[in-house]
Amino acid sequence: MVAETLMPAPPALLLTPPGVYAPQWDTGLLTRALCREDVDSATDVLDLGTGSGAVAVEAARLGARVTAVDISRLAVFTARVNALLARQRVRVRRGDLTRAVGGESYDLVVSNPPYVPSPAAKLPHRGPARAWEAGGDGRAFVDRICEAAPAVLRPGGVLLIVHSGLCGPADTLRRLTERGMRASITDRAMVPYGPVLRSRRPWLVRQGLVGAQDSREELVVVRAERP
């Protein structure tokens, strides 16, 4: 069953320097989904693309043993500092998604990956846009997570991933189901366009992804369980 569509408040953190994705509505939606899971001191959690560390810190507050991963050096530093400021223990690693934790397995994987469709031919390798640019269909990272998650989840483990309705929630469900996961949309919210979507509205309209008068996008949380 899909949960309520009220916009969740983004978590507040003390440190969000320029160049690191600050907690926003999608962060709040993923955190809300996290808090609905049965998380305690026996739960191993992996946060892929941790950014500021907001979701990782919340998982640690729930008692979990948390590993957070980001490819950005600044994000890794920020997540470590925010964990210290929150007085929570979070192991933060720099690396490319699950490649940073090769051979390890987890009870819960959470991710708020880059998911904004982009007209750019190549993904950025540095700068703040790396936190949201995700290729022409917005699925450059979502698809990789769908592919990799089953291998790092223990039996009965759960993946929670948040992304925009612009990049095909049905594709996410299909890809996860094809990999043997039981997948469904468990939460959604309509939120105002941020500055990135507003700036590329003409391109999105030409691609048929939004209407000319649209000013809000749908965010969804997909929950997938490994049998």
Phi, psi of 8 (to 5 degrees): -80, 145
Per-residue pLDDT band at 11 (split at 50, 70, 90): low
Q: Say whether 66 sits in a helix, a strand or coil.
A: strand
For residue range 24-69, what is the model confidence (pLDDT) as tens digits?
A: 999 999 999 999 999 999 999 999 999 999 999 999 999 999 999 9
Tokens for 148, please give them.
Answer: 């990799």
Beta strands across the sheet bearing 44-48: 90-94, 65-70, 44-48, 106-111, 153-164, 216-225, 182-192
Are 94 and 70 a contacting pair, CB within 8 Å?
A: yes
The band of 105, judged by pLDDT with boundaries at 50, 70 and 90, is very high
Q: What is the DSSP letter of 6?
A: S
Tokens for 96? 């490319």
pTM over 0.75: yes
Whether the Cβ atoms of residue 66 and residue 91 lie closer than 8 Å to each other: yes
Helix (H, G, I), strand (E, B) or coil at 178: helix
CB 120 within 8 Å of CB 154? no
Q: Give the model's pLDDT for residue 129.
A: 85
Q: What is the mean pLDDT of the chain?
A: 93
Look at residue 159 and tell me whether its pLDDT is greater than 60: yes
Domains and CATH numbers, the chain: 25-225 (3.40.50.150)
pLDDT digits (tens, 9 = 90+) for 106-152: 999 999 999 999 998 888 888 888 889 999 899 999 999 999 999 99
| 65 compared with 11, residue with greater pLDDT | 65
